[in-house]
Amino acid sequence: MTMKKNTKLGDINVTVGAIASLTGATVSECYGVVGMASKQFLKDGFAVLLKQDNFSKGVVVKQTDKGLELDIYIIICYGVKVIEVVTEVQKKVKYEIERALDIDFAAVNVFVQGVKVIE
């Protein structure tokens, strides 16, 4: 699936993988986030911490009646306020993605897949 944008200079096609990579890079800069998680759990219930090359497995771009929606799966650091981290991720991702791609998103949904203790 690609997002199409028409400008006076021509057409621009942005792939879901590009949106996922940009989203993953933005999320990794947020306070309290350890990393991106896979949207699917392993058999034993532990979330998989994704490396930078696989950020697309932790981001889902959906087309709904309201518009485009992002589902982001993250792992957070132990000892931080979950609501503060999630709110910051939502604000920062929405701002950065809309600024960089000039595409409006109806919603940015954040799912905390796990908590990791950082020593």
Give the pLDDT confidence of 85-111 residue by residue, as tens digits: 999 999 999 999 989 888 888 999 999
| 19-37 mean pLDDT | 87
Radius of gyration of the chain (CA): 15
pTM metric for this prediction: 0.82
CA distances from 93 to 1, 39, 99, 104 (A): 20, 18, 10, 12
Please report the pLDDT score of residue 60 as a whole number: 87
Please report the pLDDT score of residue 78 as a whole number: 92
Phi, psi dihedral angles at 59 (to 5 degrees): -130, 130
| 62-77 mean pLDDT | 88
**Domains recognised in the chain with CATH numbers:** 13-116 (3.30.70.1350)
How many Å apart are CA 85 and CA 63, to the nearest integer? Answer: 25
State the DSSP H helix or E strand holding residue 72, giving kind and residue range, or none if neither. strand 68-77
Sign of the CA dihedral with 43 first, then 73, 87, and 115 last: positive
